[in-house]
Amino acid sequence: MYAMNWNTLDTLGPQALKDMDRRRQAKGALLERAGYGPQRTPSHVLHAQPGLNLLSYAGARSDGPPVLLVPAPIKRSYIWDMAPEISVVRRWLERGYRVYLAEWVPTPEGDSEVGLADYGDRLLTVCQDKIAEDSGQDRMIIAGHSLGGILAAIYSAAHPERVAATVLLEAPLRFAHAHCCFTPLVKATPDARAIANAFRHVPGVFLNMMSAMAEPQAFQWERIIDRNLSLLDPQAMTTHMRVERWTHDEFALPGKLFTEIVEALYRRDDFMQGRLLIGTRTLGPQDLRAPLMTVVDFRSKVIPPQSVLPFHEAAGSERKQVLSYGGDIGVNLQHVGVLVGRSAHATLWPQIFAWLGAPAATPLLTAPGAAPTAAPAAAQ
């Protein structure tokens, strides 16, 4: 089934995939010109360096608790801020938080030797230092989705004294082979470093192809079904097409980061086993001690509950909770529904804020046509 031999790619192989990347990005640009680009919340770049822009959003209370949103470093970060009515950024702003987003940007072509320690520790430490200077607060909430959730969990485990709470959204943190749809691909690849050496920066189209091969139902058939179900609902269809545009807006993954994700996480399950080496520290779930909120989709084949719940249960947090996301129509990929789904924004995010203890009595920013609603009381 997995017949492609990625370990013996010749010069044409990487170049062909890079050309496919450019064609995908061109298709995404066409979708944007058709009106399906993101409608982003105003922001400014608080800090910039190779691989990272730290965005700060207008409209927050000056004394609100800071929150850092951590996307996956594979596609553009605006999936968190797709349009006003489905913007996670705006939901946090409405609740009175000071909102910051780690916007991953392509690393320089010659800089492929940045890995988990850089993305999950060094760069997020830079973010928190800049946030502390800007907000005057030494602790922050950190929230991450998917691979971004892995990075958020690593940072929270490495710096428990600096994290007020951790919110993980469909983040795979246990990679027991029986529960991982990528296991056949990992087994078919003797060493991910060979792939990384062939590309240096692993093209986004390669990652898309691997995902589609590993779980065709989620990455192909469910998307077709979702589009058909959205045909009679203009709002759902618009969101579906916005997400479609986003799926063509990926960038290459640094070779070292790709290698460490495959080898340290997917193959060896180092984080769950308490032996993930980040700098000079060895981390495991017991090191994550901040209050922990975990969101899981119990129907998911991409991030099944078995890849999420054991880490949650083993975490050192004294206060923790699991919430279930049940899916939406119009999200294109159910895996991102927690960020862009209407039911997620209507019911799931209010539960998250209630658990955190929302700092604002009323929203400060509302979507066009939406009436302000009172924030729920703080969770006990």
Please give the domain boundaries of the chain with CATH numbers for all domains. Answer: 6-356 (3.40.50.1820)
- Distance of alpha carbon 258 from alpha carbon 195, whole angstroms: 9
Question: Which pair of tokens denotes residue 350?
Answer: 């209010």
Phi (first) and psi of residue 142, to 5 degrees: -125, 135
**CA–CA gap between residue 93 and residue 198 (Å, rounded):** 43
pLDDT at 17 over 80: no
Beta strand pairing status for 98-104 and 52-57? antiparallel
Rounded to an integer, the average pLDDT of 149-174 is: 97
Q: What six digits make up the tokens of 67?
A: 């929150």
> What is residue 177's predicted lDDT score, i.e. its pLDDT?
63
296-318: per-residue pLDDT in tens? Answer: 999 988 889 999 999 999 999 99
**The whole model's pTM is what?**
0.89
The pLDDT tens digits for 195-246 are: 888 888 888 777 777 776 666 666 777 889 999 999 999 999 999 999 999 9
* Residues near 29 by beta carbon (within 8 Å), at least 6 away in sequence: none
In this structure, the strands spanning 98-104 and 66-70 are: parallel
Helices and strands counted in the chain (H then E): 16, 12
From CA 18, how far away is CA 12, in angstroms rounded? 10
CB atoms within 10 A of CB 212: 12
- Using one digit for the tens of pLDDT, what is the confidence trace for 169-187? 999 999 876 566 666 667 6
Q: Which of 19-33, 132-146, 206-220 has the lowest mean pLDDT?
A: 206-220
